[in-house]
Copies of this chain bind each other. A is one copy, B any other.
Amino acid sequence: MSCETDTIETVRNSDQRMTPQRLLVLSAIRHSGEHININQIHAQVKKAYPIINISTIYRNVAVLKELRLISETYKTDGETLYEWIGDHTHMHMMCRDCNDMIEIDDKYLDSFKKDIRDDFGFNIDIDHLAISGLCKPCKQLEQVGYDN
């Protein structure tokens, strides 16, 4: 795993240790398509290390989240997803009706982010932003009165 060198440093520089288990969890998330849940991480890690316990997955995900190497997203349908935070910074819009998630460039947040920082001193984490609402098709269905 040569592409993880700087990540390994990040972990080590924070009084945490880089174990084989932790590296496998980290790689599973990093090299998954994009979003991955706990069971998928567990299944993936098991391929290389079958004895690993699910609690180790939970605990490592918590550590990586704390270090802001990964993000945690609660989907509108209840599923919790993890994602690698690299240089591809973006946010998500999640539809509360069809549960679809679309990816949105974080440039859309620039002005809002600035206002909040200027007026409150609060610094928004764009990497951890998932916003719920109604997507275009679902909104149209609602207006036709097709649903409620």
Is A135 in the interface zone, CB < 8 Å from B? Answer: yes
Chain B residues contacting A131 (CB-CB under 8 Å) are 124-125, 129
> Is the C-beta of A122 less than 8 angstroms from some C-beta in chain B?
yes
Which of B112, B123, B132, B134 is A112 in contact with, Cβ under 8 Å?
Answer: B112
What is the oligomeric copy number?
2
Q: Tell me if A108 counts as interface (CB < 8 A to partner B).
A: yes
Can you offer 13 A-B residue contacts whose CB atoms are under 8 A?
A14-B148, A74-B74, A93-B116, A95-B122, A104-B120, A108-B112, A108-B119, A111-B111, A112-B112, A124-B133, A125-B132, A128-B132, A129-B131
Give the size of the chain A interface in residues (CB under 8 angstroms): 30
Chain B residues lying within 8 Å of A124, measured Cβ to Cβ, are 93, 131-133
A86 interface contact, C-beta 8 A: no
